[in-house]
Each structure stands twice: as structure tokens, then as C-alpha cells.
Amino acid sequence: MRAFLTLLLALPVMAAEHLNWNNDGAVMDHLCQAGSRLIGKSATTPKKTLLSQLRRKQCRLDLAAEHGGALEPADLYARARRGIVVVAGLYLCRTCTRWHATVASGFVLTRNGVIVTNCHVLKSEEPQTFVAMTSDGEILPVREVLAANEADDLVLLQLAGPPGEALTPLPLAAGEPAAPVGTRISVISHPERHFYMLTEGIVSRHLDWRQSSGTVKRVAITADFAIGSSGAPVLNSRGEVVAVVCATHAVFAGKEHGKREPQMTLKLCAPVDRLWALLAR
């Protein structure tokens, strides 16, 4: 086993600058190989340690202040993409003995490597440790949890690094609500390992959502997302984060006859004011 892992760590890893983002399989191979190298160097933090830090409720950060005018979708995508990351949970396969990765989404909050994603991403069953992949293919270990609110399903993570260069943060929208019903929005995420996909829609509702831990604030949107999109930013036309992707809720008809006919899927997000609540000011 140890010899096999040593061999895996010795395999060549595709240089980030040569990564073909149109080939999702190649991106996954790069992610898993580079992640396994970090594990081999003991550079990552165990999931158990990260979960123990979810009790941290607030932190103080220096946020990006860059706000501009409305952007066309292509320009918004080009600008915002640099601030969006792949949050990957690495686990050792029981059958092939290689390191594999689960994929979720997240975004950069500060230049020194603080990112946002969902708490449930850290609590997923398979991963043993976590890394983040930037939009230029760099793989950075998740070092620690800075602050979290499990009811809101939001967590701030500090990445180790990046060495020698700053990350590109996304600005947070202000106001309450930051995006009224009817606001045009975009989501950039990684649904089912399809990396950096742009979808568009509107804010369709603000609601109080009942769940087992209590009632929380949610924003419903019409922009599509799926498994792997958890933690992605919901952006207004200026590229400001107005909400964070959390979950979907399927609506069915015909339950009384033992049938479950799918009718629509609610796309539920945490409003940005719940993210502001994690920041001591």
C-alpha cells in the first residue's frame, strides 16, 4: 500500500498553465493527482480537525471593495471566474487504492486565501481532507475553519498559501435585501464535475425555510444548479455576491395516490446578509 502511494505521488502532474478546462476528465485527474501530492507531504488538515472548528462563530477580515457598473454576461463571467474555486474533498478509494475527489463550489473572499462554501460540504461522508482548486488550476490545502453557521450552512475557510501571489476576491453586496425579487442574477458553479458553468435567472422569492435545526432565511432563484454547485456565489449584474447556493427542493404531485410526479425544483440559497453576520465589524 505504501509503495503504491509512493508510486502515485511520483506520477507527473499536468502543469496548471496547460490544463484544458474544456476536458472535465483531465481537470479531475489534475485535481486528484495534485491533491494526493499534498497529502503525501502532510500539507492538508484532517476533516476531523476542521469539523471541530465549526464552533467558531465570527472572524474579522479585510474585504475587497471593488464595485463597478453592470456587466454583460460574458464580461461578468470573465471577471467573476477568477474568484471562484473548486472545493474538493479527497478520499482514499477502497477498491483501487487511489485518491479520489468529491467536488463542490466556493468563492474567494480575501486576497490572502479566505474562501466561502457550505458547511455540509465539510460534513459529507467520504472525504478525509480538503483542498481548493483556483481558476488557474493551482491546488491549495484547506488549512482551517475561521467561522461558521451550520443553520445558515455557511463556512469561511482559510487556505494555506497561495505562495507568492494573491487570489482574486469577489465583492459582497450590501443592503437588506441585497437582491429584491426580480433581480437578474447569475451562478457560476461546478454541477456534477462540469467545471465553471454559467447559468442565469432571477430572484424569485425571499422566504423563511423550515428545517430540522429551525427556521432560516433563504432566497429562491431560477438560475439552474445541481450537485457540485454547493457553495457557489449568486451574482448580481455588477458581479457582487447577493447569495450563496445551498440546496434544491423537489416539488412533486400525485402523492396521495402513491405516485411522485416531478413538477419543479426550488433552488435555495443563503442571502448575503447571513454571510455578513459571520464577519466581525
Which of 47-51, 171-175, 250-254 shows the lowest mean pLDDT across its residues?
Answer: 250-254
3-class state of residue 116 by DSSP: strand
Q: Please report which confidence band the pLDDT of residue 256 belongs to, taking 50, 70 and 90 as the band edges.
A: low
Q: How large a percentage of the chain has pLDDT more than 90? A: 77
What is the structure's pLDDT at 10? 37
CA 177 distance to own-chain centroid: 22
- Domain spans of the chain, in order of start: 2-159, 184-276
Q: What percent of the chain has pLDDT over 70?
A: 90
Question: Which pLDDT score, from 0 to 100, does residue 161 have?
Answer: 77
Equal CATH topology for 2-159 and 184-276: yes
Mean pLDDT lowest for which of 6-20, 163-177, 182-196, 218-232? 6-20
CA distances from 195 to 81, 146, 167, 187, 217 (A): 11, 26, 19, 12, 28
Average pLDDT of the residues in 182-198? 98
The predicted-structure confidence for 87-132, as pLDDT tens digits, reads as follows 999 999 888 888 999 999 999 999 999 999 999 999 999 999 999 9
What's the confidence (pLDDT) of residue 14?
47
**Cis status, amide bond into 163, omega within 30 of 0:** no
Q: Is 0.75 topped by the overall pTM?
A: yes
Using the predicted structure, report yes or no on whether residue 30 has a pLDDT greater than 50.
yes
pLDDT of res. 3: 37
Is the pLDDT at 165 greater than 70, yes or no? no
Task: Specify the range with the lowest mean pLDDT, choosing from 62-71, 152-161, 203-212, 270-279.
Answer: 62-71
Q: Which amino acid is at 170?
A: L
- Lookup: cell for 192: 456534477
Q: Model confidence at 9, in pLDDT bands (50, 70, 90)?
A: very low
Longest alpha-carbon distance in the chain? 62
Read off the pLDDT of each residue in 231-246 and give the average, rounded to a whole number: 97
**Mean pLDDT confidence for 1-21:** 51
Taking phi over 0 as left and psi of -120 to 50 as alpha, with beta for the rest, 61 belongs to beta
Confidence of residue 16 (pLDDT cuts 50, 70, 90): low
Q: What CATH number labels 2-159?
A: 2.40.10.10
Protein fold of 184-276: Thrombin, subunit H (2.40.10)
Q: Is the pLDDT of residue 163 over 60?
A: no
